Amino acid sequence: MRILLVGAGGVGTAFARIAARRPFAELIVADYDLARAQHAAAAKDSYTAVQLDARDEAATAALLAEHSCDVLMNATDPRFVMPLYRAALRAGTGYLDMAMSLSRPDPDKPYSETGVKLGDEQFELAGQWEERGQLALVGIGVEPGLSDIFARHAADTLFSEIDEAGVRDGANLVVAGYDFAPTFSIWTTIEECLNPPVIWERDRGWFTTEPFSEPEVFSFPAGIGPVECVNVEHEEVLLIPRWVKARRVTFKYGLGAEFIGVLRTLHKLGLDRVEPVRAGGVSVSPRDVVAACLPDPATLGDRMSGLTCAGLWVTGTGTDGAPREVYLHHVVDNAWSMAEYGSQAVVWQTAVNPVVALELIDSGAWSGTGVLGPEALPAQPFLDLLTDYGSPWECQERTPAGA
């Protein structure tokens, strides 16, 4: 399989390093910064590095054709989803991403009604992908991605009826030497944390709440322990209800009081804005300035310690008719990911899942046409292969409320 990997940041580089150990994949690594592309492509002698502006659809389509690529793997931030998505459609190839097209809040009722939802722009083109027999597998990172696959697994094998499918993400990661150093893209973190969170309920459909709403303390496994989690806008809530029956779908992230305070301050000061402002005779996006002032998450691995946990908490009725509650989860220790791959835990955990998915597509274990989320495809082949990559998942049984 010939893969055009667009984006050679932390996740893209981790993707290249993971794929280099699997025989199915050959990569052309593209980035706006050729040096970054060359750094990621160094994972394997046969990889090729090229310069590419991800906003240029025609150039991307031409690159796909020039290198006879089978698929475009999007490892950029969500701003570039649509031009890359359209380029793959135009070139007749497959497409994967780990974050979907951006949302726009309802202008009048942002904290109750949805506006343009995450992925809406992509799903508007689903008919064209189906007609052309092409597959766009969207949201196939860890969250979204593995969490959606856990939802499919729960529906198929663990539950006869799902009450709530709630993604819960937490960590105990520490970055030495920094007062504030996010372990993932601050650009994306601002986007998903300050937008109105989306919740789905069977009797109501999709609706929004205020940022950081419904705080709860969730106990994470592997010694991470209790972490306060809050509602955050995320793709799973927009994807899971399309293919998995559940009464309620939520996403809550363990941010911590300090992180929430920083995000709220950025918002109050207007530093979360994407639209450029004039400063010193130049136009600059405040959010890009914030990102430039903070350390690159990909470079923090040797200063980080601890674990990150992504998972899906599911409640409902088990296959035996009794109440059941489980937490399906995947834990990565930063010490392990750095020693094995030279990539910090958060970016490695994100990157491994699209590599697994592409290997399943290459083998024929996964197939389809149109625009699909991970939960539209069988879960077991993915979960088995993820374990084969040396990174097993677990299912933790919990005591149902009231039991």
320: left (phi over 0), alpha (psi -120 to 50) or beta: alpha
pLDDT value, residue 360: 98
Over residues 23-78, the pLDDT tens digits come to 999 999 999 999 999 999 999 999 999 999 999 999 999 999 999 999 999 999 99
Is 324 in contact with 305 (CB distance < 8 Å)? no
Measured distance CA(144)–CA(353) in Å, rounded: 10
Over residues 300-323, the mean pLDDT reads 94
Helices (H) and strands (E) in the chain, counts: 14, 20
One-letter amino acid for residue 68 of the chain: S
Lowest-pLDDT range, 236-240, 307-311, 388-392? 388-392
pLDDT band at 377 (very low <50, low <70, confident <90, very high): very high
Over residues 86-97, the mean pLDDT reads 98
Query: What's the CA dihedral at 246, 189, 327, 298 to 10 degrees?
Result: 140
Measured distance CA(370)–CA(247) in Å, rounded: 26
Over residues 1-12, the mean pLDDT reads 96
Q: How far is CA 186 from the centre of its chain?
A: 14
pLDDT value, residue 299: 80
Which residues, listed in sequence order, are joined to residue 73 by a DSSP beta bridge? 5, 96
Q: How far is CA 146 from the centre of its chain?
A: 9
Sign of the alpha-carbon torsion through 229, 232, 236, 240: positive
The share of the chain scoring above pLDDT 90, in percent, equals 80
pLDDT value, residue 178: 80
Which residues, listed in sequence order, are joined to residue 31 by a DSSP beta bridge? 51
pLDDT value, residue 396: 97
pLDDT value, residue 288: 87
> In Å, what is the CA distance from 46 to each residue of 28, 49, 332?
9, 10, 29
Looking at the predicted structure, is the pLDDT value of residue 267 above 80?
A: yes
Is 318 in contact with 158 (CB distance < 8 Å)? yes
Over residues 308-313, the mean pLDDT reads 97
Residue spans of beta strands (DSSP E) within 47-90: 48-51, 71-74
Is 240 in contact with 328 (CB distance < 8 Å)? no
Place of tokens 């198929």: 156
Q: Which class for 390: exposed (0-12), middle (13-18), buried (19 or more C-beta within 10 A)?
A: exposed
Over residues 187-196, the pLDDT tens digits come to 778 887 889 9
pLDDT value, residue 293: 85
pLDDT band at 137 (very low <50, low <70, confident <90, very high): very high
Q: Which class for 55: exposed (0-12), middle (13-18), buried (19 or more C-beta within 10 A)?
A: middle
Which residues, listed in sequence order, are joined to residue 266 by a DSSP beta bridge? none
Measured distance CA(230)–CA(214) in Å, rounded: 6
pLDDT value, residue 157: 98
Question: Which positions ≥6 away from 118 have C-beta within 8 Å?
Answer: 100, 101, 102, 103, 198, 233, 234, 235, 238
Measured distance CA(232)–CA(254) in Å, rounded: 10
Measured distance CA(196)–CA(237) in Å, rounded: 13
pLDDT value, residue 401: 81
Q: If DSSP codes are grouped into helix, strand and coil, which group holds residue 201? A: strand
**Would the pTM count as exceeding 0.85?**
yes
Average pLDDT taken over every residue of the chain: 94
Over residues 231-242, the mean pLDDT reads 96
Over residues 155-180, the pLDDT tens digits come to 999 999 999 999 999 999 988 888 77
DSSP string, 287-351: HHHHHHHSPPGGG-GGGEESEEEEEEEEEEEETTSSEEEEEEEEEEEHHHHHHHHS--HHHHHHH
Over residues 142-152, the pLDDT tens digits come to 999 999 999 99
Q: What is the pairing mode between strands 304-305 and 174-175?
A: antiparallel
Question: Which positions ≥6 away from 347 have C-beta within 8 Å?
Answer: 10, 11, 13, 14, 184, 297, 298
b/e 94-132 (16+ beta carbons within 10 angstroms → b): bbbbbbbbbbebeeeebeeebbebbbbbbbebeeebeee
Looking at the predicted structure, is the pLDDT value of residue 140 above 90?
A: yes
